[in-house]
C-alpha cells in the first residue's frame, strides 16, 4: 500500500535487548560497586584507623612515662620520710628531696600534657593529608581559610600564645621549679606552682603572686644546683686582721664540724679580708657553699657563732660614725657712725 504524503514517517520500533546483555549489566554492577568500595573509601578508613592506633600508642607511651616518674617520685618521698625523719639533718635532707621530687613530678605532668596535645595535632594533620591525597581533595581553600582564621586568632590571642610558648621553654630548660626561691623582677619568693600560662610565687609576707610566663624577662634562681651563705663583718682599723681572720675561720669550721650542719655544707668555709675599706673600718667576709635553699639557715648559725667568738676574743665590731660639722656665726662689731666721729 503506498504511503500517504500527508502522514509523517514513524521510527521503526527498537529491537528488544538481548537477555545476555541485561544479565551482564546486572552482574557487573555489584563488581563495580565493590571495586569502588575497595578503592578510596577503604583506603581512607584504613588511614583513619592507622591514625587512631598511632595516636593511642603515643598517648599510652607518654602517659606511662609520666606515671613512672610520678610513682618513682612517690616511692622516693616515702623512703626518704621513713629513713631520714628521725633526725634534724634527716628532716632537712628529706625536705630537700621531697621538693626536688615534687618539682620533677610537676614538670613531667606538664610536659606530658603538652606532648599529648602535640601528638594529637600532628597525627590529625597526617590523617587529613593522607585522606585528601587518597580522594584527590583540593585542600587549598581550606588551608587558606584556616590560615586567615589562624592569623586573626594570633592577633587576638597573641598574649596567650606568648605565655604558653614561654611556659613551654621554661619547663624544657628547667629554669625553676616548685620549691625554688626566685627573683622574677616584680615578684620574688618561693615557687609554689608552675603552669604553661602562669607561675605562682609566694613572697615573705605570704602574698601569692600570679606571674604570667610571657612577662618574665629575667629569672634569678637562688636555690638551683647549690647556694652560698655569706656573712660580712666590719672591724676597726686598729685591729689585728690576721687574728680576726683566724677567729672567723674557727667559727666557720665549728659550724662545718657540727653534725646538724655538716650535711648542709658542700665545701670548706672560706674567709676573705679587705672586701671593703673606709676611713673607720675594714670588711671581712665568710663564704660557705651549701645545698640548695639552706644558705639562710647556715647564715644564721654562722652569725651566732661569729658574734660569740669575736666577743670571747675581745674584738669589737666597728660602729658606723657620722661627723657633723657645726659652723658658729661670729658676731660682728657694730659699725661706728662716721658723722659722730668726724
CATH architecture of 173-221: Roll (2.30)
pLDDT above 70: residue 340: no
Could you tell me which CATH class the domain 227-313 is placed in?
A: alpha beta
- Quick check: 223 and 201 in contact, CB under 8 A? no
| Choice between 224 and 183, residue whose per-residue pLDDT is larger | 183
pLDDT, residue 87, reads 46
Which range among 58-72, 167-181, 190-204, 259-273 shows the weakest confidence by mean pLDDT? 58-72
pLDDT, residue 240, reads 92
pLDDT digits (tens, 9 = 90+) for 53-91: 998 998 898 888 878 876 765 555 555 555 444 444 455
DSSP 27-38: HHHHHHHHHHHT
pLDDT above 70: residue 333: no
Q: Which residues contact 84 (CB under 8 A, 6 or more apart)?
A: 90, 91, 93, 94, 97
Q: Which residues contact 182 (CB under 8 A, 6 or more apart)?
A: 176, 188, 189, 190, 191, 201, 219, 220, 221, 222
- Quick check: 48 and 131 in contact, CB under 8 A? yes
pLDDT digits (tens, 9 = 90+) for 212-236: 999 998 999 998 888 999 999 999 9
Amino acid at each position: 500500500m503506498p504511503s500517504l504524503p500527508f502522514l509523517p514517517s514513524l521510527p521503526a520500533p527498537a529491537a528488544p535487548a538481548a537477555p545476555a546483555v541485561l544479565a551482564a549489566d546486572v552482574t557487573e554492577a555489584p563488581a563495580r560497586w565493590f571495586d569502588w568500595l575497595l578503592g578510596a573509601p577503604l583506603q581512607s578508613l584504613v588511614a583513619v584507623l592507622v591514625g587512631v592506633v598511632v595516636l593511642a600508642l603515643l598517648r599510652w607511651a607518654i602517659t606511662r612515662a609520666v606515671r613512672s616518674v610520678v610513682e618513682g617520685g612517690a616511692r622516693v618521698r616515702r623512703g626518704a620520710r621513713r629513713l631520714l625523719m628521725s633526725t634534724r639533718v634527716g628532716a632537712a635532707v628529706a625536705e630537700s628531696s621531697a621538693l626536688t621530687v615534687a618539682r620533677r613530678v610537676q614538670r613531667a605532668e606538664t610536659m606530658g600534657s603538652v606532648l599529648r596535645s602535640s601528638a594529637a595535632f600532628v597525627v590529625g594533620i597526617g590523617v587529613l593529608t593522607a585522606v585528601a591525597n587518597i580522594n584527590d581533595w583540593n585542600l587549598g581553600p581550606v588551608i587558606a581559610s584556616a590560615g586567615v582564621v589562624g592569623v586573626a586568632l594570633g592577633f587576638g590571642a597573641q598574649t596567650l600564645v606568648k605565655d604558653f610558648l614561654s611556659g613551654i621553654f621554661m619547663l624544657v630548660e628547667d629554669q625553676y621549679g616548685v620549691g625554688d626561691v626566685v627573683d622574677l623582677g616584680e615578684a620574688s619568693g618561693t615557687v609554689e606552682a608552675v603552669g604553661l600560662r602562669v607561675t605562682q610565687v609566694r613572697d615573705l609576707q605570704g602574698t601569692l603572686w600570679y606571674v604570667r610566663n610571657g612577662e618574665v624577662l629575667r629569672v634569678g634562681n637562688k636555690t638551683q644546683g647549690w647556694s652560698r651563705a655569706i656573712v660580712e663583718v666590719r672591724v676597726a682599723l686598729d685591729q689585728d686582721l690576721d687574728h680576726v681572720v683566724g677567729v672567723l675561720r674557727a667559727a666557720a669550721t665549728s659550724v662545718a664540724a657540727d653534725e646538724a650542719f655538716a650535711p648542709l655544707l658542700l665545701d670548706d668555709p672560706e674567709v676573705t679580708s679587705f672586701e671593703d675599706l673606709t676611713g673607720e673600718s675594714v670588711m671581712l667576709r665568710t663564704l660557705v657553699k651549701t645545698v640548695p635553699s639552706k644558705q639562710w639557715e647556715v647564715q644564721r648559725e654562722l652569725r651566732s657563732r661569729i658574734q660569740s667568738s669575736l666577743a670571747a676574743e675581745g674584738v669589737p665590731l666597728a660602729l658606723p660614725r657620722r661627723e657633723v660639722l657645726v659652723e658658729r656665726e661670729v658676731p660682728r662689731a657694730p659699725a661706728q657712725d662716721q658723722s659722730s666721729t668726724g
